[in-house]
Amino acid sequence: MFKRIMSAAILLGAAIVPAQAAWPDRPITLIVPWAAGGGTDAVARVIASGLEKELGQPVNVVNRTGGGGVVGHTEIVGAKPDGYTIGLATAEITTYYWAGTAPFTYADVTPLALVNFDAAALHVAADSPWQDAAQALDAIRQAKPGTYKLSGMPVGAAFHLAFAGLLQAADIDAKAVAVVPSQGAAPGFQELASGGVQIVPSSLPEGRAMVDAGRVKALLVLANERIPAFPDVPVAKEAIGKEVVGGTWRGLAAPKGLPDEITAKLIETVEKVVKAPDFAKFMADRGFGVAFAKGDEFRIFLEDQHARNGELMGALGLRQRDK
């Protein structure tokens, strides 16, 4: 009798234990490693809005700034892998390890989807004697290292590495042009317009206002093909006969160890968001480039970026780790 009573109690207890809720059953946090109002923040917020509609739960954008993006990326990497904390990682996640500023690499996140790529461009002052990219590179090649300067980013940032790649493709020492660090393109363009530097290798959208004002001109863009919003700017293949692609990117990532079913659901959902007409319009209106690679494709992209940036940072004397 006692055994029958205990068995019945166990069965009753089991019956009232609620089933585990399907993900997501509460709000999701989307970490942005950069300040509110910037390009990464803008992309994050439109993605968050799309994810909310698809998943039926709030997606709250939280800006975690500091350390050149290290603080926010560290929080993405260190979050609980339950699908309730994800992040919009940027190109810098493939540089911190080499620079010695953080111990993690791309292998410490679950790659969900690349959503954006913005090619670097060669911007010079409107009154620069360089009429095209070939003239600019010839002048740099013939000058004493450090004669010419660039700005618009911190040392070792994505656009600095992209420009170093252009120099290497033209058989020029990656350190030939000195960097005047700045916290973004805006102060870099002011330096360019005032004559303090000769080059700003930012994206074309970032230079648009200065170009439209007649203070700056773009000589080439490091993309596979011309950017529709900037049809007059040639790609490197057209300008110097070498195919060079480089710039910055943004992609959705989660902590390592995210369950497969949640990973698959997030990838499926962000693909719907990125391929929706309103996302395409948002990106086009602001001049951002849409690039999509999901899951393993994004992982391979990250692996390639990690290796390439390690090589470039070595050439620039910025690499603090051998492997």
Q: Give pLDDT tens digits for 229-268.
A: 899 999 999 999 999 999 999 999 999 999 999 999 999 9
Q: Are strands 178-180 and 216-221 parallel, antiparallel or unpaired?
A: unpaired
Query: Cβ neighbours of residue 284 under 8 Å, at least 6 residues apart?
Result: 228, 229
Residue 46 pLDDT > 60: yes
Q: For residue 322, what pLDDT is reported?
A: 86
| Alpha helices by DSSP H, 119-179 | 133-142, 158-169
Distance CA 242, CA 233 (A): 15
Half-sphere exposure of 23 (CA within 13 A, CB side): 16
pLDDT range class, residue 182, cuts 50, 70, 90: confident
pLDDT range class, residue 145, cuts 50, 70, 90: very high
- Quote the radius of gyration of the chain (alpha carbons, Å): 23
Residue 17 pLDDT > 80: no
- How distant is the alpha carbon of residue 4 from its chain centre? 63
Q: For residue 4, what pLDDT is reported?
A: 52
Residue 79 pLDDT > 70: yes
pLDDT range class, residue 273, cuts 50, 70, 90: very high
Cis status of the peptide bond prior to 81, with omega within 30 of 0: no
Rounded to two decimals, the pTM is 0.82
Residue 11 pLDDT > 90: no
Q: What residue type is assigned to position 4 of the chain?
A: R
Average pLDDT over every residue of 43-55:
96
Please classify residue 45 by burial: count the beta carbons closer than 10 Å to its beta carbon, then call 0-12 exposed, 13-18 middle and 19+ buried: middle
Q: For residue 20, what pLDDT is reported?
A: 56
Contact status, residue 303 vs residue 106, Cβ threshold 8 Å: yes
- 3-state DSSP percent of the chain in helix, strand and coil, to 5: 45, 20, 35
Average pLDDT over every residue of 71-94:
96
Distance CA 76, CA 97 (A): 15
Q: For residue 114, what pLDDT is reported?
A: 98
Average pLDDT over every residue of 12-31:
74
Residue 9 pLDDT > 50: no
Main-chain dihedrals φ then ψ at residue 320, nearest 5 degrees: -105, -10
Average pLDDT over every residue of 170-192:
91
